[in-house]
Structure 1
Amino acid sequence: MYRIKIDRSRCIGCLTCVTACVVSHEMESTDARNRVTIDSETQPAPIFCRHCERPECVYTCMTGAMKKNPVTGYVEYDKTQCASCYMCIMSCPYGVLKYDSIRKKEIMKCNMCVHRSEDGSAKPMCVEKCPMQAITLEEV
């Protein structure tokens, strides 16, 4: 299983990861599935889906639209099963999930860019494009 790891000490807040996310999803939306905020010490703080070991978004999803893939360990979203109750958004302790303002009845969530290759083995675009290598993909 792989996880995105962020080294905040290397992040310069350039927002390349955010732009890469939008581009990776071929402008499905004008919004990214990640973001960079500024912490209390005025340092950039990248915010990404952690694909949690015990994901609250999965536990609160009443329809099964949010699932933890037992093979990859990724938390996956199936829009066809979504009831648009947004409990997943409200339950995420990291504030990562968000409402898709273009499609209205869907949420936006990191899918680790599995769509970029047929076998799902491509690196997430945010990892690939980070100029400071503050975002890496590590096996856990």
Structure 2
Amino acid sequence: MERIFIDAAKCDGCRNCFVACMQAHRRDSGSIYDLDLTDPQNEARNRIVRGSDGTYTPIFCRHCDQPECVMSCMSGALKKDKETGLVLYDETRCGSCFMCVMNCPYGVLKADTSTRTKVIKCDFCMEHGAQPSCAKACPTGAIYVREVKG
């Protein structure tokens, strides 16, 4: 099983991970050069928070071993995949109660900006290649993928 790890000390706030995530999940096709950063349909599944001390903290889904989001999901829209260890989201099952958003201890999950009817969360770029786009785009190595024991 692979997981995304963060070394916040290496994050310089460039937001390449943010833009790469938007590009990987955009609804239309095109290059990163014509990506509309203001279009809510291209919403990123991660974010970078700048602290009062000027340091940056990448906020990403940790695909927890005991995910509070899954345990609080009443509709079964969130499930922990036993094989991959990832927390997966099924939009068609979501009841839009946002208990998962309220129970995520890391503040990662959020309601989508445009409709406020579904949850936006990391899907590990399962449909976009072997490694998540955010990790591929990180120039400092602050975001990386590592194998973990299941």
Query: How does the TM-score come out when normalised to structure 2?
Result: 0.86
2:41 to 20, 29, 33: 29
Rounded Cα–Cα distance in structure 1 between residues aligned with 2:18 and 2:48: 8
Match of 1:110 in 2: 122
Answer yes or no: is 1:97 the counterpart of 2:109.
Answer: yes
SS at match of 1:22: helix
Root-mean-square deviation (CA), in Å? 1.3
Instruction: Mark the runs of 5 or more structure 1 residues left unpaired by the alignment.
Output: none
Stretch deviating more after TM superposition (6-15 or 47-56): 6-15
Answer yes or no: is 1:71 the counterpart of 2:83.
Answer: yes
Q: Tell me the CA shift for residue 133 of structure 1.
A: 1.4
Match of 1:13 in 2: 13
Q: Tell me the CA shift for residue 40 of structure 1.
A: 4.5
2:9 counterpart letter in structure 1: S
Match of 1:138 in 2: 146
Answer yes or no: is 1:4 the counterpart of 2:16.
Answer: no
1:124 counterpart letter in structure 2: P
Rounded Cα–Cα distance in structure 1 between residues aligned with 2:106 and 2:94: 21
Q: Percent identity?
A: 49
SS at match of 2:83: coil
Instruction: Mark the runs of 5 or more structure 2 residues left unpaired by the alignment.
Output: 28-39
2:51 to 39, 43, 46: 39
2:135 counterpart letter in structure 1: V
Match of 1:83 in 2: 95
Match of 1:62 in 2: 74
Structure 1's consecutive aligned runs of 4 or more residues displaced over 6 angstroms after TM superposition are none
Equivalent residue pairs, number: 136
Match of 1:53 in 2: 65
Please say if residues 23 and 42 of structure 2, whose CA atoms lie closer than 8 Å, have aligned partners that are also in contact: no
Stretch deviating more after TM superposition (50-59 or 24-33): 24-33
Rounded Cα–Cα distance in structure 2 between residues aligned with 1:129 and 1:89: 26
Match of 1:128 in 2: 136
SS at match of 1:50: coil
Match of 2:37 in 1: none
